[in-house]
Structure 1
Amino acid sequence: MLKISLEQWRMFHAVVEFGGFNQASQGVYKSQSSIHNAVSKIEASLGVKLFTIQGRTTVLTEAGKMILKRSHYLLDEAKKVEAIGMTLSQGIETHLKIAVDEIFPRALLYKVLEEVSATFPLVQIELLESILSGANEMLQNNDADIAISPNLLGTQFSEHLCQVKFGAVASPDHPLQQLQRKLTLEDLKGYRQIVVRDSAKLKNTERANEGWLEANQRWTVSHMQSSIDMISKGLGFAWLPLSLIEDQLNDGSLLPLKLEENRERTAPLYLAYKDIDSLGPVAQYFINKLKANCPKPSTSE
């Protein structure tokens, strides 16, 4: 059984925070004698002196400084337990699992997640990154509360969120960049294409792959970043989400291919959830913030 109560620790911290017993009594609306009593019980239980008086100033002893540092954790954890209890009593979920396709713009996603955490600081967010059918599969298997996917999950469950722009790119040293003319899709067929594999746990014959698939030679990878790395090293070409390769385009490690047509393409992303009414306040807040921050599609898209 614990010898010291949380209330006694709180009185000890009050003396430190307000700079003395008298000031602490005014700060926490307790009598000076009750604060003295709480600190004395801590000192007696631990067998150490926490404060010393220097002139008119109450000062922590070396032991007091160490105890203060350690006891901060106790009070912080107690506050968290109380906050979680209040969260549960109000019906606010403690976890939020979001399955997000890797083509979704990172900066926008991080901005929305930061807004969610600022409003609900105790909610633990789990980000599940996926490709193609993966996000919807996690939603259907109850491994995610919300999915952002390039594939529809039934008209009653999915809604259009945004359009993602893709560009055909290769490194500056790639042979396609050395051709002194406009390129056709036929030109691309003779060079290696880097393809991103569907992350859903489907049979190989049921999996989709990302992008144009008519090149005679292909390397298939599991993550968009692997594709970006390979193409930057001159190992192939691909259509990549422009939002994910801004740095490479700016520093020249990737360059657009000079295609006659289809240099850029767009792909839709959909927001999916099983039942909006079953989602908690945090999930609904995330959805609303996501919609508010996503650029509205133009009439030409």
Structure 2
Amino acid sequence: MLRVTLEQWRMLRAVVEHGGFNQAAKAIHKSQSSIHTAVQKIETALSVKLFQVEGRKTRLTEAGEMMLRRANYLLDEAEKVEAVGQTLAKGVESHLRIAVDEVFPQALLYKVLEATSQAYPLLRIELVESILSGSFEALQNAKVDIAISPMVLAEGFSEQLCLVEFVAVAHPEHALHQLGRELNLEDLKSFRQIVVRDSALGKGTDSGWLGADQRWTVSHLRTMVDMVTQGLGFAWLPRSAITTQLSSGALVPLQLTHNRTRQAQLNLLFKDGDTLGPAARAFIGELRYQCMALEAQDND
């Protein structure tokens, strides 16, 4: 038999989160006396002192800090259990939120989305397109259920999906192509580079070579492709996003001595597989299948 209830642990956490018993009472709509009683019951049951008074402030003791860390884990796990129960009770979910890095091959993504919708016609899919750490941030902030990102989760599920190849390209009449020789990174510094900014609202990340003296930074990959195609600069672009331009000669790879191409790993991320419904699992299954088929095609 447990000596302390989950509700008592929740009241303890509320006192710490809101900075005192009175503040906690207002925040969670409980009487101040009931919160005092809950904390006292924990202290009595476990023979431990949780708080100490310093002037007008109530602070956790060292033992209290340790107990709170364990209680936070317990409460988080309890919330996950409830979420799993709600998922099971609902059956097939009506809404699926997915964050996808814009460098992920679009044709492959569309196949996966179409297959998922064919299997679940009433499913509403919300697609969040992002750059660099944007999809990771959306998952961390619980704005999406699944993310495809170059980053990995410290806690949760991370699985390598595919490698995306980037090619250094420019318009065929760009001055870099007119030099008539192999190029090095020093050559690039004098010409405008087109780059895309991280879509995360928090601290963003930079990726790739950013050594040009002049740079234009845009918010979307499609804008980046359009600018380079119009001869406004050079860039490393995902090969899958410029197959038409490469085939038609609208874009030509730069003849660099090094780093003509580079690769980026994209990963499948979600926090807890037990909370994903049947449609989400179908999406993940089709995603894995299409990525494996793409890899097999590239190896042929």
Q: TM-score, normalised by structure 2?
A: 0.67
Report the residue type matching 1:147 in the other structure.
A
Structure with max Cα Rg: 1
Which of 241, 245, 248 is residue 248 of structure 1 equivalent to? 245
Task: Determine if contact 1:188/1:215 at 8 Å carries over to the other structure.
Answer: yes
Q: Is the partner of 1:169 in helix, strand or coil? A: strand
> Quick check: 1:273 aligned with 2:261?
no
Report the residue type matching 2:243 in the other structure.
E
Q: How many residues align?
A: 211
Q: Which residue of 1 aligns with 2:49?
A: none
Report the residue type matching 1:286 in the other structure.
F
Q: Distance in 1 between matches of 2:172 and 2:218?
A: 22
Structure 2 unmatched runs, 5+? 1-86
Q: Distance in 2 between matches of 1:186 and 1:115?
A: 47
Offset at residue 210 of structure 1 (A): 3.9
Against the structure 1 CA distance between its residues 260 and 178, is the aligned structure 2 distance closer, same or farther, given a 3 Å change threshold? same
Q: Distance in 2 between matches of 1:231 and 1:121?
A: 39
Map residues 174-189 of structure 1 onto 2, 5 A cutoff. 174-189=174-189
> Quick check: 1:231 aligned with 2:220?
no
> Quick check: 1:222 aligned with 2:219?
yes
Which of 270, 277, 286 is residue 289 of structure 1 equivalent to? 286
Give a deviation string over 1:108-140, Cα, whole Å, max 9, x none.
000011100000000001110000010011111
Against the structure 1 CA distance between its residues 287 and 195, is the aligned structure 2 distance closer, same or farther, given a 3 Å change threshold? same
Task: Determine if contact 1:195/1:210 at 8 Å carries over to the other structure.
Answer: no
> Quick check: 1:149 aligned with 2:146?
no
Offset at residue 241 of structure 1 (A): 0.2
Offset at residue 155 of structure 1 (A): 6.0
Q: Distance in 2 between matches of 1:215 and 1:159?
A: 34
> Quick check: 1:193 aligned with 2:193?
yes
Give a deviation string over 1:64-118, Cα, whole Å, max 9, x none.
xxxxxxxxxxxxxxxxxxxxxxx99760000000000000000000001110000
**Identity rate of aligned residues, in percent?**
58
Structure 1 unmatched runs, 5+? 1-86
Against the structure 1 CA distance between its residues 155 and 187, is the aligned structure 2 distance closer, same or farther, given a 3 Å change threshold? farther
Q: Is the partner of 1:214 in helix, strand or coil? A: coil
Task: Determine if contact 1:172/1:252 at 8 Å carries over to the other structure.
Answer: yes
Q: Which residue of 2 aligns with 1:27?
A: none
Q: Which residue of 1 aligns with 2:133?
A: 133
Q: CA RMSD in A?
A: 2.1
Q: Which residue of 2 aligns with 1:79?
A: none
Offset at residue 164 of structure 1 (A): 0.3
Offset at residue 211 of structure 1 (A): 2.6
Q: TM-score, normalised by structure 1?
A: 0.67
Runs of 4+ in 1 over 6 A off after TM superposition: 87-90
Q: Distance in 2 between matches of 1:88 and 1:150?
A: 31
